[in-house]
Structure 1
């Protein structure tokens, strides 16, 4: 995800929510409250999404590392001690 694009989208969305709430209720304070709630929900969602991407990346890297090691043949013993 690209952070500046997300921030622009977040503020546009909160502006739309605030305008819609103001039109419905006629209260600036209610519109401001809903816009703040919208910003918090979007920010928490962004944080959860980024944490999911990071954990998937770490898991994929670990799986790739273990997969590359599984293709190595185990050492063969020929019956001698040394």
Structure 2
């Protein structure tokens, strides 16, 4: 549950986190609606959404994905 909490909530007094935080919440809510019991999710379901979030280009990262920033390598998103 720690991973979910870190994704859903910004740190207190860290206003610079709100924009990215709200964007990430929107991505999560496209998959799982509000008031859904997140504790019932399987590890595979969480992993799929984590992969979606980490492979989505972000404006704040200059069009790069979080995965590209973390690994330092470019990924092809063309299927």
Question: How does the TM-score come out when normalised to structure 1?
Answer: 0.34
Q: Which has the larger radius of gyration?
A: 1
Greater per-residue helix proportion:
1
